[in-house]
Amino acid sequence: AAGVIQSPRHLIKEKRETATLKCYPIPRHDTVYWYQQGPGQDPQFLISFYEKMQSDKGSIPDRFSAQQFSDYHSELNMSSLELGDSALYFCASSFVSSHEQYFGPGTRLTVT
């Protein structure tokens, strides 16, 4: 079965640079979520989209923005990167009415 696809899997950026992470949800899933997991920490919710509209927002810095496109893929844009942004970024998708979220393998972002 198709899973959530994230690209790139690894990304190295320098401070103050920008980064774009991509997420391709499971086909026909209408909801996408983004999570951040710092080293040794639990995943923290950033933002979600339902049918291409922002549906919920967590502790996402103002330097970050995200959107969901007409083909349902989503992108997380991160600007003015800081060392503290180094983390694993997970995308998850689901049907809006489902209890199950399916997570991708994550993008490991390293800011140097």
Partner 1 sequence: DAKTTQPNSMESNEEEPVHLPCNHSTISGTDYIHWYRQLPSQGPEYVIHGLTSNVNNRMASLAIAEDRKSSTLILHRATLRDAAVYYCILRDGNSGGYQKVTFGIGTKLQVIP
Which chain residues interact with partner 1 by CB under 8 A? 4, 31, 33, 35, 42-45, 48-50, 55-56, 58, 90, 92, 95-97, 99-106
Neighbours of 95 (CB within 10 A): 14
Considering the complex, what minimum distance in angstroms separates the CB of residue 7 from partner 1?
14
Of 79 and 88, CB closest to partner 1: 88
Considering the complex, what minimum distance in angstroms separates the CB of residue 4 from partner 1?
8
End-to-end CA distance of the chain: 37
Of 14 and 59, CB closest to partner 1: 59
| Alpha carbons 70 and 51: distance in angstroms, whole number | 9
Of 65 and 88, CB closest to partner 1: 88
